[in-house]
Amino acid sequence: MSRSSAAMTVVIGFEGSANKIGIGIIRDGEVLSNPRRTYITPPGQGFMPSDTARHHRAVILTVLKEALEQAGLKPADIDCVAYTKGPGMGAPLVTVALVARTVAQLWGKPLLGVNHCIGHIEMGRLITKANNPTVLYVSGGNTQVIAYSERRYRIFGETIDIAVGNCLDRFARVIKISNDPSPGYNIEQMAKKGSQYVELPYTVKGMDVSFSGILSYIEEAANKMLSSGQCTAEDLCFSLQETVFSMLVEITERAMAHCGSQEVLIVGGVGCNLRLQEMMGVMCQERGAKLFATDERFCIDNGAMIAQAGWEMFRSGQVTELEDSWITQRYRTDEVEVTWRD
């Protein structure tokens, strides 16, 4: 399929790999619409795949209508239907992929399966215009330090066990912090009121980090410390953030030193955290580097980021055939050939 370079390309993106279901429309770098819904569980509970899928099924068509209406477009105006191929939770991924496949066939448009992590990166690059940054991708499901090299987003450092967001979310459950709007947001607000630094395990292994140790420590010790009055819940939130964020800043700095990079881009839901941004900013300032970050519209999982990555892939000639439009729970960032960059 040939495209005249003057014609505009409109891509719709479907995202639902975790508890957020979002559908966004992008036209040549302009976000035309980006509605989203979040499945929130009661305090003390995490979200399970089947319940999450059920939530997404119930709202997805409403969100799709919103996306088209807010963009002022009809299906005929769409050039490509992009969806999250993975990584993520199985049932929610299937639910969303099913709708994407269906509308692609109904509207007669090509499909594109997008890597969720690359969606975050490409949205970050679009919004911040960062040139070639070291990317810290941190969310409930992922924690990676990524740098682009020779047609791959290479993973320089990552968690060797759980994601930092997962650590924060599970800590929130232990002390029954509300999941509305998100456990991480509430930890951040409480941390602002904390003052006492409680020593917690700090684990950096080269360019990698490990969070399961600090999580098991704090899961075991939190309730004891709180009932003995040794510290407040706010102090624990504060101490946990200071520790895990220091670990993230450290591995980012290592990657920058190794690659000789002068730019940092933070993406993913945990990237909304202003304390993390502040700490990264201090590190950057000391090295003479520049920090880029986006706000909650684009940090948190959303449909437009899938549309944006899809737009890049589509323009470079990629398409996903129907028989290849399956989803996968494991999908490494460096598996994708980045055909749209040199």
- Kindly tell me which of 88 and 119 has the beta carbon lying closer to another protein: 88
- Binding of residue 217 to another protein (CB under 8 A): no
The pairing of strands 204-205 and 152-158 is unpaired
Which of 14, 39, 148, 156 lies at the binding interface for another protein (CB under 8 A)?
A: 156
- Kindly tell me which of 163 and 265 has the beta carbon lying closer to another protein: 163
Cβ atoms < 10 Å from Cβ of 181: 12
**Exposed e or buried b for every residue in 318-338, given b needs 16+ CB within 10 A?**
bebeeeebebeeebebeebeb
Q: Is 182 annotated as a binding residue?
A: no
Contact set for another protein, span 27-66 (CB under 8 A):
46, 48-49
Q: Is 301 annotated as a binding residue?
A: yes
- Binding of residue 312 to another protein (CB under 8 A): no
Which of 111, 130, 280, 304 lies at the binding interface for another protein (CB under 8 A)?
A: 280
- Binding of residue 282 to another protein (CB under 8 A): yes
* Residue 199 CB contacts under 8 Å (≥ 6 apart), including other chains: 239
Q: Where are the alpha helices (DSSP H) in the chain?
A: 49-71, 90-107, 116-128, 164-174, 183-192, 212-227, 233-259, 274-287, 296-299, 303-315
With CB under 8 A as the contact rule, which of the stretches 26-34, 150-158, 261-269, 314-322 interacts with another protein? 150-158
With CB under 8 A as the contact rule, which of the stretches 83-91, 183-191, 224-232, 296-304 interacts with another protein? 83-91
- Kindly tell me which of 102 and 285 has the beta carbon lying closer to another protein: 285
- Kindly tell me which of 315 and 341 has the beta carbon lying closer to another protein: 341
- End-to-end CA, the chain: 22
Q: Is 169 annotated as a binding residue?
A: yes
SS3 state of residue 78: coil
- Binding of residue 342 to another protein (CB under 8 A): no
| Residue 9 and residue 32 in contact, taking contact as beta carbons nearer than 8 Å | no
The one-letter code for the residue type at 43 is P
Residue of 298, 268, 295, 46 lying closest to 141 (CA atoms)? 268
| Residue 146 and residue 197 in contact, taking contact as beta carbons nearer than 8 Å | no
Which of 19, 179, 243, 302 lies at the binding interface for another protein (CB under 8 A)?
A: 243
Which of 40, 204, 221, 225 lies at the binding interface for another protein (CB under 8 A)?
A: 204
- Binding of residue 304 to another protein (CB under 8 A): no
How far apart CA 98 and CA 100 sit, in angstroms, is 5
Q: Is 184 annotated as a binding residue?
A: yes
Class of residue 42 by CB neighbours under 10 A (exposed 0-12, middle 13-18, buried 19+): exposed
- Binding of residue 283 to another protein (CB under 8 A): yes
Binding residues for a divalent metal cation: 116, 120, 137, 301
User: Which residues of the shown chain bind another protein in the complex (CB under 8 A)?
Assistant: 18, 46, 48-49, 87-89, 140-142, 147, 149-150, 154-163, 166, 169-170, 197, 199, 202, 204-208, 242-243, 246, 249-250, 253-254, 256-258, 278-280, 282-283, 286-287, 330, 332
